[in-house]
Amino acid sequence: MTTLLLLLSCAMCVHSLPLGDSRTIRRYMDETPWPEKIHHNGLKKRGRLPHAQSTLHEDVKRWQHHPAVPKNGSDAWNRPRCGVPDFPSKQDSFYDVVWSRGQHGGRYRRKRFATVKGWNKTSFTYKILRKPWQMTWEKVREVFREAVQVWSHVTPLTFTEVQSGHADIIIDFARYEHGDKLPFDGQGGILAHAFFPGTHRQGEMHFDYDEQWTLGNGMGTDLLQVAVHELGHTLGLQHSRAHGSVMSPYYIYSYPPQLSKDDESGIQSLYGIKVFHQKEPELETNDIIPVPDACNTDFDAVSMIRGELFFFKSGYVWRIRDGKLQDGYPALASRHWRGIPHNIDAAYEDTSGNIWFFKDQNYLVYDAEKQIRGPEPVQSLGLPVNSIQAALMWGEDKTQKVYFFKGENYWRFNPQENWVDMSYARTMLDWRGIPNDIDAAFQDRYGFAHFLKGRQYWKFDPVDVRALKEYPRSIGMDFFNCPDYK
Protein backbone atom coordinates (compact mmCIF):
# COMPACT_ATOMS: atom_id res chain seq x y z
CA MET A 1 0.00 0.00 0.00
CA THR A 2 2.84 2.33 0.88
CA THR A 3 4.50 1.57 -2.50
CA LEU A 4 1.26 2.32 -4.39
CA LEU A 5 0.84 5.67 -2.62
CA LEU A 6 4.46 6.55 -3.44
CA LEU A 7 3.94 5.81 -7.15
CA LEU A 8 0.76 7.91 -7.24
CA SER A 9 2.58 10.80 -5.60
CA CYS A 10 5.35 10.65 -8.23
CA ALA A 11 2.82 10.59 -11.03
CA MET A 12 1.09 13.67 -9.65
CA CYS A 13 4.43 15.46 -9.43
CA VAL A 14 5.26 14.70 -13.07
CA HIS A 15 1.94 16.04 -14.35
CA SER A 16 2.05 19.22 -12.32
CA LEU A 17 5.38 20.62 -13.50
CA PRO A 18 5.12 24.45 -13.77
CA LEU A 19 4.72 25.98 -17.26
CA GLY A 20 5.40 29.57 -16.24
CA ASP A 21 3.70 32.21 -14.17
CA SER A 22 0.25 33.63 -14.81
CA ARG A 23 1.67 36.77 -16.43
CA THR A 24 3.37 34.68 -19.11
CA ILE A 25 0.19 32.78 -19.93
CA ARG A 26 -1.96 35.89 -19.92
CA ARG A 27 0.39 37.65 -22.36
CA TYR A 28 -0.38 35.04 -25.00
CA MET A 29 -4.09 34.71 -24.17
CA ASP A 30 -4.64 38.48 -24.34
CA GLU A 31 -3.48 38.58 -27.95
CA THR A 32 -6.23 38.61 -30.55
CA PRO A 33 -6.93 35.00 -31.52
CA TRP A 34 -8.45 33.40 -34.66
CA PRO A 35 -12.50 33.41 -34.13
CA GLU A 36 -14.91 30.34 -33.49
CA LYS A 37 -14.29 26.94 -32.02
CA ILE A 38 -11.63 24.24 -32.05
CA HIS A 39 -12.01 20.51 -31.37
CA HIS A 40 -9.18 18.51 -29.82
CA ASN A 41 -10.77 15.06 -30.15
CA GLY A 42 -8.74 13.88 -33.12
CA LEU A 43 -5.53 15.26 -31.69
CA LYS A 44 -6.16 13.55 -28.36
CA LYS A 45 -6.57 10.17 -30.06
CA ARG A 46 -3.57 10.50 -32.35
CA GLY A 47 -0.86 10.74 -29.74
CA ARG A 48 2.63 11.50 -31.00
CA LEU A 49 3.34 12.20 -34.63
CA PRO A 50 5.69 9.96 -36.62
CA HIS A 51 8.50 12.55 -36.61
CA ALA A 52 8.71 12.74 -32.79
CA GLN A 53 7.42 16.24 -32.24
CA SER A 54 5.00 17.71 -29.70
CA THR A 55 2.21 19.85 -31.16
CA LEU A 56 1.24 23.33 -30.09
CA HIS A 57 -2.26 21.89 -29.54
CA GLU A 58 -0.85 19.84 -26.68
CA ASP A 59 0.80 22.94 -25.17
CA VAL A 60 -2.55 24.71 -25.38
CA LYS A 61 -4.26 21.79 -23.68
CA ARG A 62 -1.73 21.84 -20.82
CA TRP A 63 -2.11 25.60 -20.40
CA GLN A 64 -5.91 25.30 -20.25
CA HIS A 65 -5.66 23.02 -17.23
CA HIS A 66 -2.93 24.98 -15.50
CA PRO A 67 -4.12 26.44 -12.15
CA ALA A 68 -2.99 29.93 -13.20
CA VAL A 69 -5.39 30.04 -16.17
CA PRO A 70 -8.85 31.41 -15.25
CA LYS A 71 -11.64 28.97 -15.99
CA ASN A 72 -13.57 31.56 -18.01
CA GLY A 73 -10.47 32.16 -20.11
CA SER A 74 -10.52 28.68 -21.62
CA ASP A 75 -12.97 29.87 -24.32
CA ALA A 76 -10.14 31.97 -25.73
CA TRP A 77 -8.68 28.75 -27.12
CA ASN A 78 -11.91 27.63 -28.79
CA ARG A 79 -11.06 29.28 -32.09
CA PRO A 80 -10.46 27.99 -35.64
CA ARG A 81 -6.77 27.51 -36.17
CA CYS A 82 -4.01 26.06 -38.28
CA GLY A 83 -3.31 22.36 -37.73
CA VAL A 84 0.43 22.57 -38.41
CA PRO A 85 2.67 20.99 -35.79
CA ASP A 86 5.88 23.01 -35.43
CA PHE A 87 9.43 21.74 -34.95
CA PRO A 88 11.18 22.38 -31.63
CA SER A 89 14.72 23.72 -31.93
CA LYS A 90 15.64 22.26 -28.53
CA GLN A 91 14.29 19.27 -26.73
CA ASP A 92 13.53 21.24 -23.56
CA SER A 93 11.88 24.26 -25.21
CA PHE A 94 8.27 24.94 -25.98
CA TYR A 95 7.16 23.53 -29.28
CA ASP A 96 7.33 26.53 -31.62
CA VAL A 97 10.36 28.10 -29.87
CA VAL A 98 8.69 31.47 -29.46
CA TRP A 99 9.23 31.42 -25.70
CA SER A 100 12.56 30.54 -24.09
CA ARG A 101 13.90 30.66 -20.53
CA GLY A 102 15.60 33.90 -19.53
CA GLN A 103 18.43 34.33 -17.05
CA HIS A 104 16.39 36.03 -14.35
CA GLY A 105 14.20 33.61 -12.43
CA GLY A 106 10.90 32.62 -14.02
CA ARG A 107 10.73 35.43 -16.57
CA TYR A 108 10.43 34.66 -20.27
CA ARG A 109 11.63 36.57 -23.30
CA ARG A 110 10.12 36.63 -26.78
CA LYS A 111 11.90 35.49 -29.91
CA ARG A 112 11.14 37.71 -32.90
CA PHE A 113 10.25 34.87 -35.27
CA ALA A 114 10.63 31.11 -35.57
CA THR A 115 11.75 29.20 -38.65
CA VAL A 116 12.92 25.81 -39.76
CA LYS A 117 15.38 25.26 -42.60
CA GLY A 118 14.12 26.65 -45.92
CA TRP A 119 14.37 25.26 -49.43
CA ASN A 120 17.69 25.52 -51.24
CA LYS A 121 16.11 27.44 -54.14
CA THR A 122 13.98 30.54 -54.76
CA SER A 123 11.92 29.50 -57.80
CA PHE A 124 8.86 27.32 -57.15
CA THR A 125 6.07 25.64 -59.08
CA TYR A 126 2.68 24.93 -57.53
CA LYS A 127 -0.33 22.82 -58.53
CA ILE A 128 -3.94 22.86 -57.31
CA LEU A 129 -5.46 19.37 -57.22
CA ARG A 130 -8.98 20.11 -55.97
CA LYS A 131 -11.01 23.19 -55.08
CA PRO A 132 -13.75 24.10 -52.58
CA TRP A 133 -17.30 23.84 -53.91
CA GLN A 134 -18.05 27.49 -53.12
CA MET A 135 -15.61 28.88 -55.73
CA THR A 136 -14.92 28.50 -59.44
CA TRP A 137 -11.57 27.21 -60.65
CA GLU A 138 -10.64 30.66 -61.94
CA LYS A 139 -11.41 32.27 -58.57
CA VAL A 140 -9.36 29.66 -56.67
CA ARG A 141 -6.43 30.10 -59.03
CA GLU A 142 -6.70 33.87 -58.57
CA VAL A 143 -6.62 33.44 -54.78
CA PHE A 144 -3.39 31.44 -54.88
CA ARG A 145 -1.81 33.84 -57.38
CA GLU A 146 -2.42 36.60 -54.83
CA ALA A 147 -1.23 34.43 -51.95
CA VAL A 148 2.18 33.69 -53.48
CA GLN A 149 2.61 37.36 -54.38
CA VAL A 150 2.31 38.30 -50.71
CA TRP A 151 5.54 36.39 -50.02
CA SER A 152 7.30 37.17 -53.32
CA HIS A 153 6.77 40.90 -52.77
CA VAL A 154 9.36 40.98 -49.94
CA THR A 155 11.72 38.21 -51.13
CA PRO A 156 13.37 37.08 -54.39
CA LEU A 157 10.95 34.09 -54.48
CA THR A 158 9.07 33.37 -57.71
CA PHE A 159 6.07 31.06 -58.14
CA THR A 160 4.64 29.49 -61.31
CA GLU A 161 1.41 27.52 -61.46
CA VAL A 162 1.46 24.23 -63.37
CA GLN A 163 -1.45 21.92 -64.09
CA SER A 164 0.38 18.70 -64.81
CA GLY A 165 3.63 16.95 -63.97
CA HIS A 166 5.81 17.64 -60.93
CA ALA A 167 5.20 20.65 -58.69
CA ASP A 168 7.12 21.82 -55.62
CA ILE A 169 3.95 22.89 -53.80
CA ILE A 170 0.79 20.75 -53.93
CA ILE A 171 -2.52 22.33 -52.88
CA ASP A 172 -5.51 20.13 -52.06
CA PHE A 173 -8.92 20.28 -50.35
CA ALA A 174 -9.81 17.17 -48.34
CA ARG A 175 -12.21 15.89 -45.68
CA TYR A 176 -11.57 14.16 -42.32
CA GLU A 177 -8.89 11.43 -42.59
CA HIS A 178 -7.09 12.01 -45.89
CA GLY A 179 -3.92 9.95 -45.73
CA ASP A 180 -1.46 12.01 -43.67
CA LYS A 181 -2.54 11.03 -40.11
CA LEU A 182 -3.70 14.62 -39.52
CA PRO A 183 -7.48 14.31 -40.08
CA PHE A 184 -9.74 17.31 -40.43
CA ASP A 185 -12.72 17.77 -38.12
CA GLY A 186 -15.50 19.32 -40.23
CA GLN A 187 -16.51 22.98 -40.13
CA GLY A 188 -14.64 25.02 -37.52
CA GLY A 189 -11.66 23.71 -35.59
CA ILE A 190 -8.67 22.86 -37.78
CA LEU A 191 -8.86 24.88 -41.01
CA ALA A 192 -5.76 23.66 -42.85
CA HIS A 193 -2.24 22.36 -42.42
CA ALA A 194 0.98 22.23 -44.41
CA PHE A 195 4.34 20.47 -44.28
CA PHE A 196 7.73 22.04 -43.71
CA PRO A 197 10.73 21.86 -46.08
CA GLY A 198 12.84 18.80 -45.47
CA THR A 199 9.96 16.56 -44.35
CA HIS A 200 8.75 13.56 -46.34
CA ARG A 201 5.68 15.55 -47.51
CA GLN A 202 7.38 18.90 -47.98
CA GLY A 203 5.40 21.44 -49.97
CA GLU A 204 1.98 19.84 -49.39
CA MET A 205 -0.85 22.17 -48.30
CA HIS A 206 -4.18 20.66 -47.22
CA PHE A 207 -7.39 22.65 -46.63
CA ASP A 208 -10.53 21.36 -44.91
CA TYR A 209 -13.15 20.98 -47.65
CA ASP A 210 -15.98 21.34 -45.10
CA GLU A 211 -15.13 24.94 -44.18
CA GLN A 212 -17.29 27.78 -45.50
CA TRP A 213 -14.60 29.21 -47.78
CA THR A 214 -15.14 32.81 -48.85
CA LEU A 215 -13.06 35.69 -50.16
CA GLY A 216 -13.01 39.25 -48.89
CA ASN A 217 -16.44 39.40 -47.22
CA GLY A 218 -15.88 38.22 -43.63
CA MET A 219 -18.89 35.87 -43.81
CA GLY A 220 -17.00 32.58 -43.59
CA THR A 221 -13.33 31.56 -43.59
CA ASP A 222 -11.26 33.72 -45.91
CA LEU A 223 -9.31 31.44 -48.25
CA LEU A 224 -6.68 34.04 -49.10
CA GLN A 225 -5.84 34.64 -45.44
CA VAL A 226 -5.42 30.93 -44.74
CA ALA A 227 -3.53 30.31 -47.99
CA VAL A 228 -0.92 32.96 -47.14
CA HIS A 229 -0.47 31.40 -43.69
CA GLU A 230 -0.04 27.84 -44.98
CA LEU A 231 2.36 28.98 -47.70
CA GLY A 232 4.48 30.44 -44.92
CA HIS A 233 4.76 26.95 -43.44
CA THR A 234 5.70 25.33 -46.75
CA LEU A 235 8.47 27.92 -47.08
CA GLY A 236 9.85 27.20 -43.60
CA LEU A 237 8.09 29.52 -41.14
CA GLN A 238 6.74 28.25 -37.84
CA HIS A 239 3.88 29.81 -35.89
CA SER A 240 4.41 33.26 -34.47
CA ARG A 241 2.96 34.95 -31.39
CA ALA A 242 3.87 38.43 -32.62
CA HIS A 243 0.87 40.75 -32.71
CA GLY A 244 -0.68 41.01 -36.17
CA SER A 245 1.40 38.21 -37.70
CA VAL A 246 -0.16 36.20 -40.54
CA MET A 247 1.72 33.25 -39.03
CA SER A 248 -0.39 33.35 -35.87
CA PRO A 249 -1.78 29.84 -35.29
CA TYR A 250 -5.27 31.30 -34.76
CA TYR A 251 -7.42 32.67 -37.56
CA ILE A 252 -7.87 36.44 -37.63
CA TYR A 253 -9.92 37.84 -40.52
CA SER A 254 -8.01 40.52 -42.40
CA TYR A 255 -8.49 41.28 -46.07
CA PRO A 256 -6.24 41.64 -47.90
CA PRO A 257 -3.67 39.91 -45.65
CA GLN A 258 -0.64 42.00 -44.72
CA LEU A 259 2.71 40.69 -43.55
CA SER A 260 3.88 42.02 -40.20
CA LYS A 261 7.50 43.00 -39.60
CA ASP A 262 7.88 39.69 -37.80
CA ASP A 263 6.68 37.79 -40.91
CA GLU A 264 8.99 39.78 -43.19
CA SER A 265 12.01 39.24 -40.94
CA GLY A 266 11.32 35.52 -40.72
CA ILE A 267 10.94 34.87 -44.44
CA GLN A 268 13.88 37.15 -45.33
CA SER A 269 16.10 35.30 -42.87
CA LEU A 270 15.54 32.21 -45.05
CA TYR A 271 15.58 33.64 -48.59
CA GLY A 272 16.94 37.18 -48.48
CA ILE A 273 15.48 40.56 -49.35
CA LYS A 274 13.86 41.39 -52.68
CA VAL A 275 15.92 43.78 -54.79
CA PHE A 276 13.72 46.19 -56.73
CA HIS A 277 15.16 47.24 -60.05
CA GLN A 278 14.35 50.69 -61.31
CA LYS A 279 11.28 50.57 -63.54
CA GLU A 280 11.29 51.84 -67.07
CA PRO A 281 9.55 55.24 -66.86
CA GLU A 282 6.01 55.37 -68.15
CA LEU A 283 5.35 57.64 -71.08
CA GLU A 284 3.18 60.64 -70.30
CA THR A 285 1.12 62.41 -72.92
CA ASN A 286 3.28 65.53 -72.66
CA ASP A 287 6.61 63.71 -73.11
CA ILE A 288 8.51 64.74 -76.21
CA ILE A 289 9.99 61.64 -77.85
CA PRO A 290 10.80 60.96 -81.50
CA VAL A 291 7.91 59.50 -83.50
CA PRO A 292 8.94 56.43 -85.52
CA ASP A 293 8.45 56.59 -89.29
CA ALA A 294 6.02 53.82 -90.27
CA CYS A 295 7.67 53.64 -93.71
CA ASN A 296 11.11 52.95 -92.24
CA THR A 297 10.65 50.79 -89.18
CA ASP A 298 9.70 47.38 -87.94
CA PHE A 299 6.94 47.00 -85.35
CA ASP A 300 6.85 45.68 -81.79
CA ALA A 301 3.32 44.23 -82.01
CA VAL A 302 0.16 44.28 -84.13
CA SER A 303 -3.38 43.34 -83.11
CA MET A 304 -6.97 43.52 -84.30
CA ILE A 305 -8.86 45.35 -81.52
CA ARG A 306 -12.60 46.06 -81.82
CA GLY A 307 -12.36 45.36 -85.56
CA GLU A 308 -9.56 47.89 -86.10
CA LEU A 309 -5.89 47.24 -86.72
CA PHE A 310 -3.37 48.65 -84.23
CA PHE A 311 0.38 48.78 -84.90
CA PHE A 312 2.67 49.33 -81.88
CA LYS A 313 6.19 50.76 -81.89
CA SER A 314 8.28 52.47 -79.16
CA GLY A 315 5.31 53.58 -77.07
CA TYR A 316 3.30 54.79 -80.11
CA VAL A 317 0.31 53.26 -81.84
CA TRP A 318 -1.11 53.57 -85.37
CA ARG A 319 -4.85 52.94 -85.84
CA ILE A 320 -6.16 51.64 -89.18
CA ARG A 321 -9.89 51.34 -89.91
CA ASP A 322 -11.19 49.89 -93.18
CA GLY A 323 -7.66 50.08 -94.63
CA LYS A 324 -7.21 53.81 -93.80
CA LEU A 325 -4.91 55.36 -91.20
CA GLN A 326 -7.06 57.40 -88.81
CA ASP A 327 -6.48 61.10 -88.16
CA GLY A 328 -4.37 61.92 -85.11
CA TYR A 329 -2.18 58.85 -85.41
CA PRO A 330 0.44 57.80 -84.54
CA ALA A 331 -0.41 58.64 -80.91
CA LEU A 332 1.02 57.56 -77.58
CA ALA A 333 -0.35 54.14 -76.67
CA SER A 334 -0.73 55.36 -73.05
CA ARG A 335 -3.59 57.59 -74.21
CA HIS A 336 -5.62 54.43 -74.82
CA TRP A 337 -4.14 52.18 -72.12
CA ARG A 338 -2.77 54.03 -69.12
CA GLY A 339 0.28 52.29 -67.68
CA ILE A 340 0.97 50.19 -70.79
CA PRO A 341 4.68 49.25 -70.87
CA HIS A 342 7.01 50.91 -73.34
CA ASN A 343 8.09 48.70 -76.27
CA ILE A 344 5.62 45.85 -75.78
CA ASP A 345 6.50 42.44 -77.25
CA ALA A 346 3.06 41.18 -78.27
CA ALA A 347 -0.67 41.95 -78.06
CA TYR A 348 -4.01 40.34 -78.86
CA GLU A 349 -7.72 40.74 -78.11
CA ASP A 350 -9.45 37.70 -76.62
CA THR A 351 -12.99 36.48 -77.34
CA SER A 352 -14.45 38.48 -74.42
CA GLY A 353 -12.95 41.72 -75.72
CA ASN A 354 -10.08 42.01 -73.23
CA ILE A 355 -6.72 43.12 -74.60
CA TRP A 356 -3.58 41.27 -73.51
CA PHE A 357 -0.18 43.00 -73.63
CA PHE A 358 3.14 41.21 -73.17
CA LYS A 359 6.38 42.84 -72.07
CA ASP A 360 9.49 40.84 -71.17
CA GLN A 361 8.54 38.22 -68.55
CA ASN A 362 5.11 39.70 -67.71
CA TYR A 363 1.68 40.28 -69.21
CA LEU A 364 -1.17 42.70 -68.45
CA VAL A 365 -4.88 42.53 -69.34
CA TYR A 366 -7.10 45.53 -70.11
CA ASP A 367 -10.87 45.83 -70.32
CA ALA A 368 -11.14 48.67 -72.84
CA GLU A 369 -8.84 51.33 -71.28
CA LYS A 370 -8.85 49.95 -67.73
CA GLN A 371 -6.19 47.55 -66.50
CA ILE A 372 -7.88 44.59 -64.80
CA ARG A 373 -5.01 42.16 -64.34
CA GLY A 374 -1.24 42.00 -64.05
CA PRO A 375 1.54 42.41 -64.33
CA GLU A 376 1.87 38.64 -63.94
CA PRO A 377 4.61 36.29 -65.20
CA VAL A 378 3.96 34.65 -68.58
CA GLN A 379 5.05 31.37 -67.02
CA SER A 380 1.88 31.45 -64.91
CA LEU A 381 0.05 30.64 -68.18
CA GLY A 382 1.96 27.37 -68.45
CA LEU A 383 4.67 28.63 -70.79
CA PRO A 384 8.09 27.05 -70.29
CA VAL A 385 9.80 30.28 -71.48
CA ASN A 386 9.96 33.61 -69.66
CA SER A 387 8.99 35.87 -72.62
CA ILE A 388 7.40 35.76 -76.07
CA GLN A 389 7.89 37.63 -79.34
CA ALA A 390 4.39 37.46 -80.88
CA ALA A 391 0.82 36.37 -80.09
CA LEU A 392 -1.86 35.35 -82.58
CA MET A 393 -5.58 34.77 -81.93
CA TRP A 394 -6.52 32.42 -84.76
CA GLY A 395 -9.51 30.27 -85.65
CA GLU A 396 -13.27 30.67 -85.92
CA ASP A 397 -15.59 31.80 -83.12
CA LYS A 398 -15.45 29.43 -80.12
CA THR A 399 -12.73 27.29 -81.69
CA GLN A 400 -10.28 30.19 -81.60
CA LYS A 401 -6.99 29.52 -79.90
CA VAL A 402 -4.05 31.77 -79.08
CA TYR A 403 -0.60 30.96 -80.39
CA PHE A 404 2.53 32.27 -78.69
CA PHE A 405 5.74 32.51 -80.72
CA LYS A 406 9.40 32.76 -79.78
CA GLY A 407 12.38 32.01 -81.98
CA GLU A 408 11.71 28.85 -83.98
CA ASN A 409 9.05 27.58 -81.53
CA TYR A 410 5.40 28.18 -80.74
CA TRP A 411 2.82 27.06 -78.15
CA ARG A 412 -0.97 26.89 -78.32
CA PHE A 413 -2.90 28.55 -75.50
CA ASN A 414 -6.46 27.59 -74.54
CA PRO A 415 -8.40 30.75 -73.49
CA GLN A 416 -11.19 28.74 -71.84
CA GLU A 417 -8.77 26.91 -69.55
CA ASN A 418 -6.40 29.89 -69.32
CA TRP A 419 -3.54 27.46 -69.81
CA VAL A 420 -1.12 26.33 -72.51
CA ASP A 421 -2.41 23.16 -74.23
CA MET A 422 1.08 21.90 -74.97
CA SER A 423 3.80 21.98 -72.36
CA TYR A 424 6.30 21.18 -75.12
CA ALA A 425 7.21 23.44 -78.02
CA ARG A 426 6.35 22.87 -81.67
CA THR A 427 8.45 24.38 -84.45
CA MET A 428 7.64 26.97 -87.09
CA LEU A 429 7.85 24.21 -89.71
CA ASP A 430 4.12 23.72 -89.02
CA TRP A 431 3.52 27.22 -90.42
CA ARG A 432 4.80 26.49 -93.91
CA GLY A 433 6.53 29.44 -95.52
CA ILE A 434 6.69 31.55 -92.35
CA PRO A 435 10.18 32.44 -91.04
CA ASN A 436 11.50 32.06 -87.50
CA ASP A 437 11.84 34.99 -85.08
CA ILE A 438 8.72 36.85 -86.16
CA ASP A 439 8.03 40.26 -84.59
CA ALA A 440 4.21 40.23 -84.58
CA ALA A 441 1.13 38.41 -85.86
CA PHE A 442 -2.61 39.02 -86.28
CA GLN A 443 -5.67 37.56 -88.03
CA ASP A 444 -7.68 39.75 -90.39
CA ARG A 445 -11.49 39.77 -90.72
CA TYR A 446 -11.34 37.21 -93.56
CA GLY A 447 -9.51 34.57 -91.49
CA PHE A 448 -6.00 35.06 -92.95
CA ALA A 449 -3.12 35.15 -90.47
CA HIS A 450 -0.42 37.75 -91.03
CA PHE A 451 3.14 37.38 -89.74
CA LEU A 452 5.53 40.36 -89.53
CA LYS A 453 9.31 40.32 -89.47
CA GLY A 454 11.39 43.41 -90.01
CA ARG A 455 9.65 45.57 -92.64
CA GLN A 456 8.00 42.64 -94.38
CA TYR A 457 4.95 40.48 -93.76
CA TRP A 458 3.63 37.11 -94.87
CA LYS A 459 -0.04 36.21 -95.41
CA PHE A 460 -1.01 32.71 -94.33
CA ASP A 461 -3.83 30.80 -96.02
CA PRO A 462 -5.95 28.83 -93.48
CA VAL A 463 -7.20 26.47 -96.21
CA ASP A 464 -3.88 25.49 -97.81
CA VAL A 465 -2.13 25.96 -94.43
CA ARG A 466 0.83 27.75 -95.97
CA ALA A 467 2.02 31.25 -96.85
CA LEU A 468 0.65 32.67 -100.10
CA LYS A 469 3.13 32.56 -102.96
CA GLU A 470 3.36 36.29 -103.66
CA TYR A 471 4.64 37.00 -100.15
CA PRO A 472 6.55 38.51 -98.34
CA ARG A 473 5.46 42.06 -99.09
CA SER A 474 6.28 45.50 -97.67
CA ILE A 475 4.41 46.52 -94.51
CA GLY A 476 4.88 50.21 -95.24
CA MET A 477 3.55 49.99 -98.79
CA ASP A 478 0.50 47.83 -98.08
CA PHE A 479 -0.66 49.33 -94.77
CA PHE A 480 0.68 52.90 -94.75
CA ASN A 481 0.76 53.79 -98.48
CA CYS A 482 4.50 54.30 -98.37
CA PRO A 483 6.35 54.73 -101.68
CA ASP A 484 8.12 51.73 -103.17
CA TYR A 485 11.80 52.36 -102.58
CA LYS A 486 12.85 48.97 -103.96
Q: Which residue numbers belong to the known binding site for Zn(2+)?
A: 178, 180, 193, 206, 229, 233, 239, 247
Spatial contact of 326 and 332, defined as CB atoms under 8 Å apart: no
d(C-alpha 234, C-alpha 228), whole Å: 10
| DSSP-derived 3-state class of residue 478 | helix
User: Which residues, 6 or more positions from 90, have their beta carbon under 8 angstroms from its beta carbon?
Assistant: 97
Spatial contact of 261 and 135, defined as CB atoms under 8 Å apart: no
d(C-alpha 374, C-alpha 405), whole Å: 20
Angle in degrees, 0-180, between the axes of helices 137-152 and 223-235, rounded to the nearest 10: 50
Spatial contact of 301 and 434, defined as CB atoms under 8 Å apart: no
> Which one-letter amino acid corresponds to residue 427?
T
Which residue is catalytic, options 31, 230, 282, 417?
Answer: 230
d(C-alpha 186, C-alpha 208), whole Å: 7
d(C-alpha 354, C-alpha 356), whole Å: 7
C-beta neighbour count of 34 within 10 angstroms: 20
d(C-alpha 169, C-alpha 174), whole Å: 16
375 preceded by a cis bond (ω within 30 of 0): yes
Binding residue ranges for Ca(2+): 168, 185-186, 208, 211, 300, 345, 347, 391, 439
d(C-alpha 207, C-alpha 305), whole Å: 42
End-to-end alpha carbon distance in the chain: 116
Please list the residues that pair with 174 across neighbouring strands.
Answer: 208
Give the distance, in angstroms, between the CA of residue 269 and the centroid of all CA atoms in the same chain. Answer: 21
| DSSP-derived 3-state class of residue 333 | helix
Give the distance, in angstroms, between the CA of residue 252 and the centroid of all CA atoms in the same chain. Answer: 21
In this structure, the dihedral spanned by the alpha carbons of residues 88, 91, 95 and 99, taken in order and rounded to 10 degrees, is -100
Report the candidate in 246, 243, 228, 236 with the shortest Cα–Cα distance to residue 269.
236
Report the candidate in 171, 169, 167, 162 with the shortest Cα–Cα distance to residue 383.
162
Would strands 190-194 and 81-82 be described as parallel, antiparallel, or unpaired?
parallel
Spatial contact of 378 and 356, defined as CB atoms under 8 Å apart: no
3 state SS for 262-280: HHHHHHHHHHCCCCCCCCC
Binding residue ranges: 168, 178, 180, 185-186, 193, 206, 208, 211, 229, 233, 239, 247, 300, 345, 347, 391, 439
Report the candidate in 235, 260, 240 with the shortest Cα–Cα distance to residue 250.
240
* Chain length of the chain: 486
d(C-alpha 299, C-alpha 206), whole Å: 48
The verdict on whether 230 is a catalytic residue reads yes
Q: Which residues carry out catalysis?
A: 230
